[in-house]
Amino acid sequence: MKNSKKPAVVLLSGGLDSATCMAIAREQGFLLYAISFRYGQRHRVELEKATLVAQSFQAEKHVILDIDLGKLGGSALTDSSIDVPKHESVDEIGSEIPLTYVPARNTVFLSYALAWAEVLGSNDIFVGVNALDYSGYPDCRPEYIDAFEVMANLATKRSVEGERLRIHAPLIHWSKEEIIRKGLELGVDYSLTSSCYDPLPSGLGCGHCDSCLLRERGFRQNSMLDPARAPR
């Protein structure tokens, strides 16, 4: 039975969105090959979370790649000289591209996923990008994902051989509320996830970065508390 399933590469950050995305890939019957990145991010606790999430979904394999994105600079997430912006409420989050944007991050991540898909003989990559809540990250927009898919279908040996690769971004048009609702339906254990850009030493969320505030609102809209949030 298991061998009739097809492999899919799933980008797994350890956050809420990618855990939900992985649950969707599993629901669709794929064998799960999870890939995470140690890229100089402040929030390295997310990699421990990614490992737990991959285990909870019985992924076939989980690789964590060390990449040097921080060496190129330019983001509050990888450059300790730039502070992560903090707010009191979700209403204070601006509409411009935030300082936490990491230049070309999704392009680099998807490129590695593409390389692995080629080696595994997979035609399916899942990525938990979301255009709605992540105000202003250019590489979370549908037109970007579509263009990456077109490029990917010219980039590889498999594409030359007539195979067609698909980038699945099932969360792209959903609100955080909808993402959490779907994840709860599929049995995602959100206590294993971490979305915070600047976590406390305990690994719990700070509660004030854009990511914490959006996440908290999503759980509130589902009439529950964030299971990974520090008590206040």
204 binds a second copy, rule: CB under 8 A:
no
Binding mask 105-134 for a second copy (x = CB under 8 A): xxxx-xxx-xxx-xx---------------
**Cα 61 to chain center, whole Å?**
17
Q: How far is the CB of 85 from a second copy (least distance, A)?
A: 15
Binding residue count for a second copy, defined by CB under 8 A: 44
Query: Whole-angstrom Cα distance, residue 184 to residue 125?
Result: 22
Element (H, E) at 139: none
93 near 210, Cβ under 8 Å? yes
Q: How many helices (H) and strands (E) does the chain have?
A: 8, 5
| 151 near a second copy, rule: CB under 8 A | yes
Q: Which of residues 30-49 bind a second copy (CB under 8 A)?
A: none
Pairing of strands 166-168, 124-126: parallel
Residue 157 lies near a second copy (rule: CB under 8 A): yes
Q: Which is nearer to a second copy, 106 or 211 (CB)?
A: 106
Q: Which stretch binds a second copy (CB under 8 A): 50-58, 60-68, 183-191, 202-210?
A: 60-68
Length of the chain, in residues? 232
Round to whole Å and give the CA distance between 73 and 54: 29
| Chain residues in the site for a second copy (CB under 8 A) | 63, 65-69, 71-74, 97, 101-108, 110-112, 114-116, 118-119, 136, 138-139, 141, 143-144, 147-148, 150-152, 154-157, 159-160
